Amino acid sequence: MDSSVFEIKVKCIENMQDTAASLVQSQNNLTRDEKKALMTSNAFSRLDKAEIDNTRAEKESALKLAMRYYLLSLSQCDGNNLSVFRVISLWVDNPGLDLEDASDADSGPLGQLLHAIPSWKFITVLPQLAPRMSNENTPFARHLKQIIKTCAIDHP
C-alpha cells in the first residue's frame, strides 16, 4: 500500500505486537492492571491486524476488477487503445498479481484476457515491457515473454 497512514498503522501494530510479546514473557511479574492492559492490547491488536488484512484483500479485489475491465475493453473494442498503458502500469506495479485466478467464470482468468488482446495494441508499450524480461519462471515473466513473442512474430 502506498498510503502513509496505512504504513504507519502497520508499523504501529508491529511495535504493539513486539511489546505484547515481551510482556507475555514476563507475565508472572505483572500486576492485575498490567495483565488487564495486556489483554486489551492483544484484543485491539487482533482487530487492527484483521483490518489490515481486510484492506489488503480489498486492494487485491479492486486491482483484479480494474484489470478485468481494462482487459475486456481492450479485447472487445478498437476505439480506446490508451487503456493498454493503464493495464501495463497496473500489471508492472503488481507483478505478483495472479493472472490465472478464474474467479469470474464468464470471462475467464486475467491471463486469458491478457492474451486475447490483439498484439498490435502492445506495440506502443514494448519499450516499457522489454526491460522487465528475465529468466525467472514466474507467472509475470511467462506472460510477459508470451506477449513479447507474439508481438515479434506478428510484427517483425
Q: Across all residues in the chain, what is the average pLDDT?
A: 83
- Whether the per-residue pLDDT at 105 is higher than 60: the answer is no
Calculate mean pLDDT across residues 136-142.
85
Q: Is the pLDDT of residue 27 over 70?
A: no
Per-residue pLDDT tens over the stretch 11-25: 888 887 777 777 777
Q: What is the mean pLDDT of residues 75-80?
A: 80
**pLDDT tens, residue by residue, 35-72:** 787 788 788 888 888 988 898 899 888 998 998 999 98
Of 139, 59, 146, 147, nearest in space to 100 by CA: 139
Distance CA 96, CA 55 (A): 17
pLDDT confidence of residue 49: 85
Res 2: pLDDT: 67
Query: Is the overall model pTM greater than 0.85, yes or no?
Result: no
Helix, strand, coil shares of the chain, percent, nearest 5, are: 75, 0, 25
What is the band of 138 on the pLDDT scale with cuts at 50, 70, 90? confident
Q: Angle at which helices 83-93 and 32-76 pack, to 10 degrees? A: 150
Strand, helix or coil at 108?
Answer: coil
Checking 61-69 for CB contacts under 8 A at 24+ apart, the result is: 63/90, 63/94, 63/97, 64/97, 64/101, 64/103, 64/110, 66/90, 67/91, 67/97, 67/110, 68/104, 68/107, 68/110, 68/113
Grid cell of 114 as nine digits: 491478457
pLDDT attached to residue 85: 92
| pLDDT exceeds 60 at position 155 | yes
Average pLDDT over residues 90-107: 74
Q: Decide if pLDDT at 104 tops 60.
A: no
